[in-house]
Chains A and B, each alone.
Chain A
Amino acid sequence: MTRRILIDPVTRLEGHGKITIILDDSGQVEHAYFQVPEFKAFELFCRGRAIEEMPALTQKICGVCPTAHHHASSKALDDLFGVKPPPAAAKIRELMHNAFMFEDHLLHFFFLGGPDIIVGFDAPASKQNILGVIETLGMEAGKEAIEIRKKVRRIISIIGGSPLYPANGLPGGVSKALSAPEIAEIRSTASHALLFAKATLNLFSRRILPESRFRDMLFDDAFRLETAYLGMVDSENRTNFYDGSLRVVDPKGKEFARFDVHEYPRHLEEHVVSWSYMKVLSLKKIPWNGFTEGPDSGIYRVGPLARFNVSEGMKTPLAQAEYERILETFGGKPVHQTLAYHWTRLMEVLYAAERMRELADDPGLSDSNVRILPDSLPGEGIGVCEAPRGTLIHHYQTDPKGIVNRLNLLVATQNNAAAICMSVEKAARALIRDGEVSPAILNLIEAAYRAYDPCLACATH
């Protein structure tokens, strides 16, 4: 007779989830399900609302990555009203976006998924958290991590009012220009952030990477998934979080597609499963054949690792150096090792800090012209950006009065939905032998999805 192992709720991620592992009578894993038991219906109740309210409204999908939604939404409004924000506005948005990527990635590293690798997979549950992290790294380091997040989130409040839910997104720009003192503060924070990013990568390669248990798991097949990858790149195929075109590479790393977001419906497809509220995305051009790996599967991944795999380098020097180090460590692309998400994520922290610094130094940032009034009537618009957890698409349609009558949201973690389920099952199969389960094993299984930094509120919205 079969046996069930239930992990409910899954912890140290955003949103509600549970894992059901089913063992056959010989104690081998028959199936493992990663279920999302929540749903909110944003696509329904945003209908009938005034289009200009979307950035403020849709960002409430997620309190962890609101800025990403705010920007995908604002860009959708630019598109829908046919207005191009003035240069200063675009810079302000990208600056806020990078500040946000920085602090959100650090949230994962120190509070959510990070503890797995900082304190160690096998540490007791009571240590698998920020407090354990502080214990491991020392109060100073811990406090500093908390401090820098606070300072960088302050950049978001300077620009958008609240550190959490910015309020500045408008079609054709932003509501507020930046004053000289504000820019000065941003600049000094950015420099501080850059130092901290370096230190964190240093910490990673000195303390975590060499650590054998982590290294084993990093290269272990249990944490390997052969999928395609999707991410946003600039004209030179370098990672960009705020703007660019979407690029897909196949499991061999070959470019599979490179398209403007307006073509997304021709490339991406959602599937529904009856055992979870989380919809599953796959590449439309490859016929859906369920939760399978390899070249015949349309399943792809997004987020830091995916952005690493689809890009041909980073735009900023230090990040580029880190990029090459990763490439060297894995001896080429694509990297399919799920735990590599941690490393690529820290590389992005470095990039975000460098980019913040660049933008803070840009003289154009202080321009007071930050908004252009639309003259065309609303209609249809699509906006895209890279959220910490991956590619995020907002798509709106309105009536002539600018009342939303249709919207479609493809949210970062949805793209990873299939991969997350598969990673969990794969880890479970590999790690549970003859019905043997220890807390350490269960935590390792959770480490399989935590690497993605999933956001389940987003994924179901």
Chain B
Amino acid sequence: MEETRKPDRRPERIGVFLCGCGPNISEAVDLLKIAAFAETLPEVVCVESVPLLCADAGKEILKARISKDKLSRIVVAACSPKEHEHTFRQVLRDAEMNPFLLQMANIREQCAWVITDKEAATRQAKTLIRAAASRVRHHEPLEPKSIESSPDVLVVGAGIAGISAALTLARGDRKVYLVEISPCIGGKAARHEDLFPSLECASCVLSPKFDELLHNSQIELLLLSRVKEVLGYFGNFTVTIDRQARYVDEAGCIGCAACIDVCPVKALNEYNEGLDRRRAIYIPYPGALPNAAVIDPRHCLRFQGEDCTRCRDACPMSLIRYDETDTTRTLQVGAILLAVGFDLFDVENAPRYAYGRIPEVYTSLEFERLANASGPTQGKLQQKTGDSPGRIALIACVGSRTTAHHTYCSAVCCTYLMKFIHYILKKLPEARIFLFHSDLCLPGREAQQIGSKFSSDKRVAFLRMKTPEAISIHEKEGKIAIRYMDLLERSHDVLCDMAILAPAMEASKSAPDTAKQMGILQEKGGFFSKEHPIIAPVSTTFQGIYAAGCAREPGTIEQAVAQGEASAGRILSSLIPGIRLPLEAESAHVDEDLCSGCRLCRNGCIYRAITYDSEKGTALVNEVLCKGCGVCAALCPSRAIHARHFSDEAILSEISSLTCTEEKEH
């Protein structure tokens, strides 16, 4: 309509309810004065003092007045909203009034209890109530929304953390897709000899879990697969998975190895940390599950263009499938668990340890394989020459706790070095062991016991370095000289036959891509950030995406299992089949008429809740992901983002009301 001014809003009917909170408030402030003052406030049509508003009697009064006086807004002057806002919102609901039309003035914690002078406390209470009464006018009736969601879950990584989570979810009768990039499950733990602290044999402890997994119909195992793309949000993720061909019928193969013996090609065996060789068609290691062969197209002659069919000819059940192709599939899931594990710090980046130059220097994982009955030496601890080592050095903090590489402690190295001592003494009772450390970290009951047991063993020397870097390895008379500096800064050389390094644990090489794909943050060392380090440790910064095991920080196998099960618990309790997901009512909202599409709001949202509609050229808040913090509203240079229940209007009205105090007035 040309040149007409916008119409004024119609007046509200505000009810102010004063709670005496027993003696708490009633004795500390002058409620009569306050009531009289409240009467004078604009648009206030009823003021009622109640001895105890949160008691049933009190709630009845509130409910009755709402309908009797046709109240359109409610101010409750009582305790902290954190204590009873939900209580009174419920009363509004019962009175068929929108619960968000309530504002509480906290005159107990903020007046009665903290201002002894009754006069002053009363004045303060008036000020807070006036502010509440002026703010509540700007409240909008909010309707909590909810959405459909899929209860299915994607678990990335079939290590011990992922497997524990998958099993817990499956027991909860959930469909689980378990994606694993390698041809077998179990991750690194499965290739350990013994497990700390019980020092039981790893496969005895783990294989029952693995078997259960392989036979659980709820769990769909996708080996040789990786996540290609993730779209959507909590409750409604769409995930694309790329699966590499195995060229062997996984289901049918019984792992008889007939095909392997005839394969003419040899390649380094990554599953033994490259300490020995495997064929182009192979089973990663004895006992690897599923017990089925796999062809590595990078080595297989057929895939280099030669016409070799030896393995197919050898297979008693003709299960070789040269013509199998890579496949892609799309999954709908409600939540995602990242259990992508860790990688060891690449020791070649720290030349002082001579790793790669001196053959008898090993990493911890290499040593695990050396010590493992299914490893390259069938568990025999021997040098590359075949002799068994007489003097063995164990070196802690390789790349940890140093400004040069990782400043953090990798948490488990000291403990597994204790395990290594146990391996060595078990297999080579005559050997001398030198443990180089700076500050041993052996938390918990078992680790300490084992530690002190060994420290009293005269075959084992605990040598303290001044700092993690105060050590270097050299060749000397065909042996390994470990040169280190002690606490008194004296330098010593210790001659050994073999040195085993405990490299720092860092996020798996794939972590950055995964983080980008999932839109989550990373921390020091590339580990996935937690939603909250203390109260939300297994959820990431993106709702519906969880992280367990060493993907989130270095930790023990026991912790990985616990976190896997914890994540599963979070998912089971938040994604219940058939139940719609409730959304944050106090979320942000973009006014399309005002949004310029500058997209700077996204700089402020760690939840990736703001998307951009390039068609319209405006931003859009995804109410599923929005947590209602209001950062974007304060950031938006157009003020096109409206923070529900904490609108500019509401807060500005509080400001004007609070600043015009009695002190100021006179």
A and B touch in the complex (CB under 8 A): no
Q: Measuring CB to CB, which residues of chain B are less than 8 angstroms from any residue of chain A?
A: none
* Chain A interfacial positions (CB closer than 8 Å to B): none
